[in-house]
Amino acid sequence: MTSNNDADPPVGGGANRGKRRRFAPIPRVTGTIIVISVLAAIVQQVVPQVGWELAFAPVVALVEPYRFITSAFLHAGFYHIAFNMYALLILGMQLEPLLGRVRFLTLYLVSAIGGNAAVMVLASLTGWNGVAVGASGAIFGLFGALMVVLKAFNRDLTGLLVVLGINVVIGFIDPRISWESHLGGFLTGIVIMLLWNSLLRARSTAVQKAVVAGREVPGSLRTRWMVVDVLLGLAVAIVLGIIVFAL
């Protein structure tokens, strides 16, 4: 017995079948970060003390360094998390398929560290007793990385720069927003992506030779490249840590 669904469409369903839009699936790491952040927001409502224990506070950050990352999964309210998760979804849909899950996660977490490191370094201006929560540093790291990618492909940066400009203005107008975190995350994302791009240019020679020879690039080599990229991201995080401790 054979079946041909296209030959006998459901009544009334055949005319619009070709026009039906298919939404791209949410990348796995992006979706996981969103789920964790939403769950963390729920926990914050049930157990408010969790927010204080995991938020980034310059006064205790050096003795409790986990706060450099945990604070990126906490938020100060519905609109805060809604805006950040929407931005993460949009940026993740573009960057995660391009970078791969491991590199994307590395970029996200190291950018979060970079954002909080900037808060730490500039704490003498903003006060050591404040606390910072939110994924904004990581989000701005994704913005910075995307800007590098678009520039590398000679794409128009106008739309991205407008969005960044609006966020910069809002960050200076609203004292509750940590512009230091935005700046630190943004610069960290740019640095990581520039380093990865420089490695990509070097690797392109190996890829071209393989194509000319009619061979595929070995999976083991691709794995080594990924490991190097992750280690490079971690190296950036270590440098940020050294800067923070030195200052």
Catalytic residues: 136, 182
| Cα dihedral across residues 201, 143, 88, 72: positive or negative | positive
Q: Identify the burial level of 135 via C-beta atoms within 10 angstroms of its C-beta, where 0-12 means exposed, 13-18 middle and 19 or more buried.
A: buried
Helix (H, G, I), strand (E, B) or coil at 78: helix
**Side-chain-side CA neighbours of residue 144 (13 Å):** 28
Fill in the amino acid letter for 193.
M
Token readout for 196 is 């990865």
Unique residue bearing structure tokens 């970060």: 33
120-125 — which CB contacts under 8 Å span 24+ positions?
120/58, 120/61, 120/244, 120/247, 121/180, 121/184, 121/243, 121/244, 121/247, 122/180, 123/58
Measuring CA to CA, which residue among 41, 69, 47 is closest to residue 56? 69
Neighbours of 68 (CB within 10 A): 25
